[in-house]
Amino acid sequence: MASVQHDDIPHFDVLIIGAGLSGIGTACHIKNTFPKKSITLLERRETLGGTWDLFKYPGIRSDSDMLTFGYNFRPWNKLHTLADGPAIKQYISDTADEFGVTEKIQFGVKTISANWDNEIRCWTVIALHDKSGEKRKYTCGYYISCTGYYNQDAGYLPVI
Ligand SMILES: Cc1cc2nc3c(=O)[nH]c(=O)nc-3n(C[C@H](O)[C@H](O)[C@H](O)COP(=O)(O)OP(=O)(O)OC[C@H]3O[C@@H](n4cnc5c(N)ncnc54)[C@H](O)[C@@H]3O)c2cc1C
């Protein structure tokens, strides 16, 4: 068990919010560079991939070539350089498995606040667990937000 308990509150050296391209990439770098640090990822959805799982419309693909869009530590080696959504999701998922990050993700856990606590010199994070409806508290030394920039709850309706 990587986490240390303080008064029954799970504590991690590094807590990452979001298991999309950024969250998984960040977690891989941390696991490689600081293998002894405890780490967790809180992901509000039931799967990883973020953008590349959320959007399913036909023909979805990246505009950037995968040689620059992919991770430098796990180069894209397919022949097509402009990948479609499912291929990018698979790439993120395979990377997470290969680097032992998948098992660090807590799915269905939506972060609702994060505050620095001067007294305990840690971040205090409150998250809502989808299944139980419970709010739970975590503490961490480093808090990294990889939440992307979409409103996941509703599409944007412009006023025209
Ligand atoms: C069709 C399309 C094509 C694109 N093409 C390109 C491209 O070619 N090049 C490029 O650079 N970018 C492109 N983008 C932008 C793309 O979103 C980003 O490049 C990248 O995938 C974002 O990754 P991310 O991990 O930062 O965010 P996301 O993929 O949005 O992942 C964020 C994750 O955080 C989770 N999360 C959010 N809030 C919370 C919370 N409160 N608690 C817990 N979890 C939370 C979400 O559920 C999600 O899984 C494209 C986007 C789309 C839709």
Q: Which H or E run contains 24?
A: helix 21-33
Distance in angstroms between the alpha carbons of the first and the last residue of the chain: 53
Beta-bridge partners for 145 = 17
pLDDT of residue 156: 87
Would you say residue 42 has pLDDT above 70?
yes
Q: What six digits make up the tokens of 131? A: 């299944």
Cα–Cα separations (whole angstroms), residue 71 to 24, 67, 115, 133, 148: 10, 8, 30, 35, 17
Ligand 1 neighbours, Cβ below 6 Å, are: 17-23, 42-45, 50-51, 55, 60, 62-64, 69, 110-111, 146-148, 150, 152
Q: What is the pLDDT of residues 80-133, one digit of tens each?
A: 999 999 999 999 999 999 999 999 999 999 999 999 999 999 999 999 999 999
Q: How many Cβ atoms from other residues are within 10 Å of residue 37's Cβ? A: 14
- Is residue 28 within 8 A of residue 97, CB to CB? The reply is no
Task: List domains and CATH numbers for the chain.
Answer: 4-122+131-145 (3.50.50.60)
- Is residue 17 within 8 A of residue 9, CB to CB? The reply is no
Strands 109-117 vs 105-107: parallel, antiparallel or unpaired = unpaired
Query: Mutation test of ligand 1: which of 48, 51, 140 has the most ligand atoms closer than 8 Å to its C-beta?
Result: 51
